[in-house]
Amino acid sequence: MKPSLAKGTRDFTAQEVSRRKYIINILQNNFELFGFQPLETPSFENLSTLTGKYGEEGDRLIFKILNSGEYASKVNQEDWDNKNHQKLISQISDKALRYDLTVPFARFVAMNHGKLTFPYKRYQIQPVWRADRPQKGRFREFYQCDADVVGSESLLQEVDLVQLYLKSFSDLKIPVTIHMNNRKILSGLAEYAGITDKLIEFTVALDKLDKIGKEGVVKELLEREISQESIDKLEFLFNQSDDALENLLQLKEKFADSEIGLKGVEELEFVLTQSLNLGVDMQNLVFNITLARGLDYYTGAIFEVKADEVAMGSIGGGGRYDNLTEVFGVKNIPGIGISFGLDRVYLVMEELNLFPEEASTQVEYLFANFGGEGTLEALKLIMQLREKGISAEFYPENSKLNKQFTYAEKKGIKNLVFLGEEEIKNGTVTFKDLTAGEQKTVSLEEFLG
């Protein structure tokens, strides 16, 4: 059998694992600096927990798990003959791999709300699975790194999450721009144009402005049966200035008769103003009125983070979801959260050559194997190095020195150590720096530091 990987999955080499750990350690450190506590949930959930939370398209991308045993014998023949897919799925599968970390988190909060201290702040770093079409930066199995706060309606949470994003990406040396919008503003726009009943159709088309331009958006709106009169009222959307606060001022005038629209403007204005007061550079924040991600569950702020110097989709995103726990029968627990896309962050850092040398796992010393009594002395010295937290290993075979050199070079080991009869007799150690090509002999005490 020819070995192969399932489409949309990857193996990770030692260097890749080390670099991913480097990113995760920075994010985890920042999560905890901002007061978030760790949480882990199972890799699969009840199918009923996940479905209906991500919209029709999201539901199609959930990986279902077949029931164990003779599941096929329980299938209703009539449903099979009529190709009633929804009923068939419910008969052969009642569990699924988690699609994201937010819904399992909401389920956890709903199950444990009587034991939690609110506001409850948690972070979670675990893999998720989506039956998506693989492409650059998009995989079927990938890690999400989430930070969420539930139990608080304060807009200061949004301000704090902006700070968390900026500090984390600054620590990773990635220049980013945070795109921001508010679900209430999008609802206000639909109300202003008289298309409240077509909010989703309107925002889906508007979200494509960067890709298909004004003409393409207008064409799609007409195809979705949105009148030319309504489109004319929204003409100003295609002429936004670079000044976020100026654009919000314009919206205030348009939303004079829209309570929900004015509320959205007020919320976004607060987050932007407070962020600026805290010293955030306005260049890092963009009011993107076309941003419409997560409308099936976001109720207020919407965030999307893009790397400034790499052409790739978002490397982070999130928003406010004040009603998510209601589907589990628990009301009045508002929430907001953000996510870091570990795999895309990795690709950006790789493309910009941002990984420091210490982000790769390298063995410090390889002890050459000369056989004889030197073996035991080398092993004793290796034990002492390891007790000091210094990585070292012994070449297992008494092979030609050339072969041992090649092993060290291919593995990226920094130093090759020679502990022969002369060194043992004199209480010294000889080692060669394989990067600089320099060799020196030092006393045993000096070597151990």
Binding residues for L-histidine: 100-102, 130, 144, 148, 293, 297-298
d(CA 322, CA 365): 55
Enumerate residues 6+ apart whose C-beta is below 8 A from 269: 245, 248
* DSSP class of 312: -
Closest CA to 205 of 250, 321, 189: 189
- The H or E element spanning position 440 is strand 438-443
Closest CA to 132 of 57, 207, 55: 57
Pairing state of beta strands 365-367 and 415-418? parallel
- The DSSP bridge partners found for residue 150 are 120, 335
Known binding residues: 100-102, 130, 144, 148, 293, 297-298
Distance from the Cα of residue 306 to its chain's centroid? 12
- The H or E element spanning position 120 is strand 120-129
d(CA 186, CA 182): 7
d(CA 381, CA 395): 14
The neighbour count for residue 3, using CB atoms within 10 Å, is 4
d(CA 322, CA 320): 6
Tokens of 263: 């509320």
Enumerate residues 6+ apart whose C-beta is below 8 A from 18: 359, 360, 361
The residue whose two tokens read 């164990």 is 68
Burial degree of 202 (CB within 10 A; 0-12, 13-18, 19+)? buried
d(CA 135, CA 215): 27
Pairing state of beta strands 120-129 and 37-38? parallel
d(CA 323, CA 311): 34
The residue whose two tokens read 């012994």 is 394
- The DSSP bridge partners found for residue 125 are 145
As a residue count, the chain comes to 449
- Strand spans (E) along 173-232: 176-182
d(CA 97, CA 111): 19
